[in-house]
Amino acid sequence: MTDGKMPLRAIVATTASKTAAALSRAAGRGDGSVIGGWIGLKIDPDLLSHLASGRAVALVSGTNGKTTTTRLTAAAVGVLGRVATNGYGANMPTGHTSALAKEGHTPFAVLEVDEHYLAQVIDATRPKVVALLNLSRDQLDRAKEVAMMAQLWKTALAGHPEIRVVANADDPMVVWAAAGSPQTTWFSAGQRWHDDSFVCPESGHPIERANGDWWCTGCPLRRPVPQWVVEEDGVIDPRGDWHLVKLQLPGKVNLGNAATALAVAGEFGVRPIEALPRLSRVTSIAGRYAQVDRDGRNIRLLLAKNPASWLEAFDMADQAPTLLSINARDPDGLDTSWLWDVDFAPLRDRPVLITGDRAYDLAVRLEVNRVPFQHVQTFDQALAAVPPGRLEVIANYTAFQDIRAVLDRVN
C-alpha cells in the first residue's frame, strides 16, 4: 500500500493521528498512541482497515503474556523486513491505528489485541495469523465470563476460515475456541492456572488432567497434539528438531512465549534458526523484567495483574528478597478479593516486603497463608530494608507504574 492509494480522508486522518500523538508525547503524556489513534479514527472510522491493507498482519491475544509474546513475535518476523507493532501494550483499536500510522508503510505488522476486541480487529485488519495464548479471569470486577470470551473468539474465527490460527493446546478454552478453524497450528506452552477451565465449554462435563494431557469426560474435546513444544530450555519445531532458546527474559513462562513467537513467525516462513538470535536480544518490555541498579541493589520488575500471572511471577522470581505492591485503582480493578485465589506459599522461604494502597489486604492474605512479611511505606524504605544484591519486585498494574516512575520510567 502506498499513501497514493489511500483515500484522502484516510491520509488526513493518518496525519492528524501522528500529530496528536507527537503533541501528547511532547506534553509528557505517555507515548501518545491512544490519543493519536482516537483522533485518527474520529476523522476516518475505517482508518485501521486502510492502514492495515497491504500488510501481512499477525494478531496476538489472550489474558496473559500478550505484550511479551507480541514483542518476541515482532522480533522474529523482523527477519523478513520491517514490522509495525504496538510494543507498549496500547492494545485496543486506537492503539493499533496509532502504531500503524506511526510506522508508515511496513510489509508486516504484529499487533497485541485486548481479548474483548479480537473480533473487531480481525474484521478491520484481515490478519494472516491469529495467535491465541490463554483465557483466564482478569481483574474480578471487570471480568467477563471466561467461557463467554471463548465463545466470542470462536464466533469471530468462524467467519474467517482463511486465517491461520496458532493456539495453545494446553488451555481447553483456547482449544475449544480455535478447534473449528480449518487451519490451526497448536503449540504447547503449559497452563499453570487451571481454576477457570475445570468445566468443558462444549458439554459442561468436568475436564480431567494428567501428565500435561487433558480431556473432557463427556465429549470428544481433548488436548490436540501440538506441533511446537517447549522441552527443557528449548523448543521442538514441527519437524521434530530441538532448538536451544536463550532469552534474557526470566522463567519457563517466557520460554512458552518464545515458542509461541516462533510458531507465529513460522507461519510467515521464518525458521527458528533465523529468529532465535533476535529473541535473545529482547531484554524488557515497557519496564517488565527491567533490571535497575540502585544503592547496590539489583532491582528486577515483574508485573502481575491477575491470579494466573501472580503464579507466573513467583515462577520467574529468584530466591531473593521480594517486594509485593498492590493497588486497587480503576485499571487494577477495585476488588482485591482475587488475593484469596492466589497461593503465596512459594514465597515462604524468602524475606517478603509489602507496600501499595492495599498493602493491608495483602497483609491479611499473607497472614492466613503463613507467609512472614514486613510492611514498608515507600519504595525507598524497601530498598533500605534489604541487603545489597537482587530485589525482586512483583506489582499489579498501577503499583508497577508507580514503582517505574520512582525508578525514572525504566524500559
Residues in contact with Zn ion by CB under 5 A are 200, 202-203, 205, 216, 218-219, 221
The residue (of 82 and 215) whose beta carbon lies closer to Zn ion is: 215
Give the nearest distance from C-beta 202 to Zn ion in angstroms: 4
Give the nearest distance from C-beta 15 to Zn ion in angstroms: 52
CB 112 within 8 A of CB 66: yes
Q: Are strands 184-188 and 164-168 parallel, antiparallel or unpaired?
A: parallel
Q: How far apart are CA 257 and CA 337, in angstroms?
A: 28
Give the nearest distance from C-beta 218 to Zn ion in angstroms: 5
Joined together, the cell numbers standing for residue 377 give 511505606
Give the nearest distance from C-beta 223 to Zn ion in angstroms: 12
Q: How far apart are CA 43 and CA 15, in angstroms?
A: 11
The residue (of 58 and 135) whose beta carbon lies closer to Zn ion is: 135
The residue (of 221 and 247) whose beta carbon lies closer to Zn ion is: 221
CB 69 within 8 A of CB 60: yes
Q: How far apart are CA 90 and CA 287, in angstroms?
A: 14
CB atoms within 10 A of CB 345: 11
Q: Which of 46, 335, 341, 357 is catalytic?
A: 335
Give the nearest distance from C-beta 194 to Zn ion in angstroms: 16
Q: Is 141 among the catalytic positions?
A: no
Q: Mention every residue, 6+ apart, whose C-beta is less than 8 A from residue 49.
A: 124, 125, 126
The residue (of 110 and 200) whose beta carbon lies closer to Zn ion is: 200
The residue (of 206 and 372) whose beta carbon lies closer to Zn ion is: 206
207 strand-pairing partners: 216
Q: How far apart are CA 317 and CA 319, in angstroms?
A: 7
CA distances from 60 to 168, 182, 250 (A): 12, 19, 20
Residues noted as catalytic:
335
